[in-house]
Chain A
């Protein structure tokens, strides 16, 4: 009898410790993830053939624009940067009455997973899910705007080098727009 009771006790304690470790792991990972913000940077650029060259405010963005497109004018129309958490959607007002929803979905190694929805008025015109390198950029272009086209630069960055398989969370913090020209 006492042998049976002892073996039950040993099993219970061993399994109990295993359960604690199994439970503590994800909880600790989730708790750690709460403090990793994701910064989303949205730039709206008017691209046109009006021979005005590059807007100096575009900075390093001028080079990829010049290599990717063949317009003669690139002008920064708006710039907004917000910080958020994974699973929290950000809304950006774009020129021409467009709205861009960006939601960081998670961090996978050095890649940030994002969902982006572009609205024209109330209608979604484009929805995409993608993984982007930390501090990478995706250009979204094509909508007509004024005398040219609108090119939207979507950048995302997380300040902490993320470890794989963690979701990251934080608080929104809008940054003032440079030049909104609807």
Chain B
């Protein structure tokens, strides 16, 4: 049987259900046959009820904003403000610099590969437009300078693709021999 002196300090915790399960069980067993302790527990219960009635719980509405407002009102040292400002600036500058560099690098890529794309397109154009000749062919005559564009594809694809041909002589011939995959530019001396 547990003594009242051992139970008395636990009554307040028992009322608040803060004891370990075996302690709760022991106190409950003691209260079942001890009128004195039961009265003390009743006093604790009454006291707790009165205390809860007296306490005013603060309103939590707009709590975060109020805290932030109070924090903003706290004066920040100039050094800390300066550090924060510089930190933000650094971050923004880094991001801006990185984005600008990315744009420049992309531009460099475009500039680097644009000529190849152009040549590829030109070559496709030339292959489809320019006639393939199997024997000597005279190009149209011009007075001073002649410009011709020609491709000489072999059976399995062009061996030589001429994209520009300028000559001082009026007669220029271009032909290819598919068997030997050889292209010829014939430019006789000017008369």
Contact = CB atoms under 8 A, between A and B. Distances in A.
Given A16-B98, A108-B119, A5 B187 contact: no
A128 B166 contact: yes
A12 B168 contact: no
A129 B116 contact: no
Contacts of A9: 91
Given A141-B186, A143-B187, A12 B163 contact: no
Given A5-B87, A12-B91, A19-B105, A136 B168 contact: no
Given A12-B94, A125-B167, A130-B163, A139 B116 contact: no
A1 B185 CA distance: 72
Given A8-B94, A111-B161, A136 B181 contact: yes
B183 A138 contact: yes
B8 interface: no
A10 to B, nearest CB: 10
Contacts of A129: 162-164
Interface string A107-145: 010010100001010011111111111001111111110
A19 B186 contact: no
A139 B182 contact: yes
Nearest to A30: B112
B99 A15 contact: yes
Which of A12, A111, A128 neighbours the largest number of chain B CB atoms within 10 Å of its CB?
A128
Interface residues of B, number: 47
Interface string A57-77: 000000110011000000000
A3 interface: no
B184 interface: yes
A137 B182 contact: yes
A131 B182 contact: no
A30 to B, nearest CB: 9
A128 B165 contact: yes
Nearest to A96: B189
8 shortest A-B CB distances, which residue pairs? Answer: A22-B105, A15-B98, A64-B180, A8-B91, A129-B164, A142-B188, A130-B162, A142-B187
Interface of A: 1, 5, 8-9, 11-12, 15-16, 18-19, 22-23, 25-26, 63-64, 67-68, 106, 108, 111, 113, 118, 120, 123-133, 136-144, 164-165
Given A68-B182, A118-B187, 12 more contacts: A5-B87, A12-B98, A23-B108, A64-B182, A126-B169, A128-B166, A129-B164, A131-B161, A133-B159, A138-B160, A138-B182, A142-B186
